[in-house]
Amino acid sequence: MAKNKNDYAYAVARIRSKELKLLSASFLEQLLSAPDCESCLKLLAEKGWGNGSFERPEEMLSIEENKIWELMEDLVKDTSVFHVFLYKNDYHNLKAAIKELHHRNGFPGIYLRHGTVSPETIQKAVAENHFGDLPEAMQAPAKEAYTALLHTHDGQLCDVILDRAALEAVYQAGKASGNEFLSLYGELTVASADLKTAFRSSRTGKNRDFLTRALVPCDTLNITELIQAAMEGTDAIGKYLEKTPYREAASQLNHSPSAFERWCDNLLIKKIRPQLHEPFGLGPLAAYILARENEIKSVRIILFGKRNQLSEESIRERVRETYV
């Protein structure tokens, strides 16, 4: 972590020029109004998305994700300051490696490239049952998930173990950063995941033991009260939300989990917008990463919605707010 804000002065200046190329709300409207997926791809290519040749949606989105981290590696000597954004990829890859071994079959394209640990290292550690080759924080949940899947063949249990570990890693990294913005990111990431899990668990009749295992403590939620509300039903969760900073989300949660997820993403974008006016520090760089991830998420929703011939209104209600 840099010792003072001026350490990022040059990087922030570069980011300001990159922000001019972020997608606007009006451009997303163009995509929504386009007749099909191919038309959207052409519009995006004109904006500089992809590598200049015609790609499938998956390829274009992957190229744009790579661009984020190529830029950060160019701007910042020590990219460990951004690990809080990458732990989710590590645990995705760990989950993929364990399930791939369990099914004894390769699944092309299941590993994500940008993490704090290479996919090859994770795959090898799992295949050889050498969990000590992983970072210390990953070792225990990796072994627990591996053993659980081996003995119970319960893929959901494996997911719960590793999803919780991923959230804990993000939360702890945000707290340890000493940066208000990264701490907020960790808090909102965990809180939104807890609320979505509680809501879905309540609707599907999950028991208290499941909720206790799945939910991760954070500052803005009382996990004990949330579990009790989930056991009583979705209406009780809505009432509990009235006592939290997420009271405005109650109606969204009752509408659908995807509407609530959109609300959480939009809240984060609203929280990071002040970084547009910060001349120094890590905040503007971190905000740019989230802004890019957010617009890629919106473009993915539009592209696959168009490809699957969903209605414009159905796609629109899932699209996130833009940063600029």
Please say if the pLDDT value at position 2 is more than 50: no
Q: Does residue 200 contact residue 117 with C-beta atoms inside 8 Å?
A: no
Of 197, 177, 168, nearest to 90 (Cα)? Answer: 168
| Burial annotation 43-63 (CB, 10 A radius, 16+ → b, else e) | ebbeeebbeeeebebeebbbe
d(CA 281, CA 259): 33
Confidence of residue 4 (pLDDT cuts 50, 70, 90): low
Confidence of residue 179 (pLDDT cuts 50, 70, 90): confident
d(CA 138, CA 94): 9
Confidence of residue 280 (pLDDT cuts 50, 70, 90): confident
One-letter amino acid identity for 235?
D
pLDDT per residue as tens digits for the range 43-69: 999 999 998 776 799 999 999 999 999
Please say if the pLDDT value at position 71 is more than 60: yes
pLDDT per residue as tens digits for the range 76-126: 988 898 999 999 999 999 999 999 988 777 666 789 888 999 999 999 999
| Dihedral over Cα of 134, 139, 142, 146: its sign | positive
Mean pLDDT of the chain: 91
Residue 54: what pLDDT?
Answer: 67
Q: Does residue 60 contact residue 49 with C-beta atoms inside 8 Å?
A: yes
pLDDT per residue as tens digits for the range 188-206: 999 989 998 999 999 999 9
d(CA 6, CA 8): 5
d(CA 117, CA 50): 26
